[in-house]
Structure 1
Amino acid sequence: MIPINNSIVSGVALSEINGETKMLLMKRTKGSFWCHVAGSMEEGELPWQTIVREFYEETQIEVTDLYNGQFLEQFYASYSNVIEVIPVFVVKCPANQKVVLNDEHTDFEWCNLEEALKLAPFPAQHAVFKHVWEYFVDKPINELFRIKLG
């Protein structure tokens, strides 16, 4: 049997950068690959609280506009022999959102979908980015996806 881990959440930040919608990708220090924000839930945290905390810790972005991404990122992690099932959140940031990275990342880029797909190495990431782009950029965001903070 392969264990399933569901203690991690991820989030994609969107911002109007110089008038064009972009998503935030960061280059991880460990592994040196491009990714979106992700992290492990701490005891007593709800998933949405974890992604709010992780965004602040990793980027200094204060989340005020949060959505259930309506997507589960899934992949097999061969190094730990675990199937990861990760709920995805979407963060709408103010225009030209400032980013301050912590030591988990060495660089960041605000990308359109095509640029993000070129940078991100994993098929699960591609699925996340395509889904987020379709339901949060190409279409008006469904207000049923909004998460009330607090």
Structure 2
Amino acid sequence: MTFGTEIPTRCRAVACIALRRGAEGAEVLLLKRADGPMAGVWTQVTGGIEPGETAAQAAARELAEETGLVPEAFYSAGWVDHFYNPADDCIEVVPLFLAKVTPGAKVILDGEHTDWEWVSIEAAQARVPHHGHRVALDAVRHTFVEREPPEWLRVERYTGGP
């Protein structure tokens, strides 16, 4: 059997979930998009990878730009989102990172967002629009909330961060 043309796969964006311990347990940060087709939608930190950046560097930069947060620990979440992009006829692969932040860390929004909120993982899953985001939140719960994450997932040495 012969198959036709391959659909390209590309990775040009990253996602980062900020996680803290709240009064009721683990909380993740959601951001409300300001403009474009996603205006009014709640998501985690996302953004493009700039030329010369690693995925981990891009995630750390986007976290700082979009929220002003500096993590006390920064990890690869060990999970990637992937989906078909019909506009470009390709499979997009988006690595997920996790930033552990202190409970009192102050969020400072950039112009890409109009609001932010710390919510439980379950509440976040009810708000985020994409299936991949909900699955990512499950991965975060299993790897970072229900147990201590393995040390080999730490990526600070790749970001120039903490």
Q: How does the TM-score come out when normalised to structure 2?
A: 0.85
Match in the other structure for 1:146: 154
Give 3-state SS (helix, strand or coil) of 1:27's partner. Answer: strand
Spell out structure 1 runs of 4+ moving beyond 4 A: none
Match of 1:84 among 92, 110, 133: 92
Match of 1:69 among 65, 74, 77: 77
Match of 1:15 among 20, 43, 51: 20
Equivalents in 1 of 2:62, 2:85: separation in Å? 21
The alignment of Structure 1 onto Structure 2 pairs a total of residues equal to 150
8 Å CA contact retained: 2:67, 2:109: yes
Equivalences for 1:107-122 in 2 at 5 Å?
A: 107-122=115-130
Equivalents in 2 of 1:59, 1:82: separation in Å? 30
**RMSD after superposition:** 1.5
| Counterpart code for 2:65 | E
Equivalents in 2 of 1:75, 1:111: separation in Å? 26
Equivalents in 2 of 1:79, 1:72: separation in Å? 21
Match in the other structure for 2:3: none
| Structure 2 portions without partners, runs of 5+ | 1-5
Equivalents in 2 of 1:106, 1:26: separation in Å? 8
Equivalents in 1 of 2:119, 2:87: separation in Å? 29
Q: How does the TM-score come out when normalised to structure 1?
A: 0.91
| 1:2 is aligned to 2:10 | no
| Counterpart code for 2:46 | A
Of 65-74 and 138-147, more deviation after overlay is shown by: 138-147
| Structure 1 portions without partners, runs of 5+ | none
Identity %: 32
Match in the other structure for 2:56: 48
Give 3-state SS (helix, strand or coil) of 2:79's partner. Answer: strand
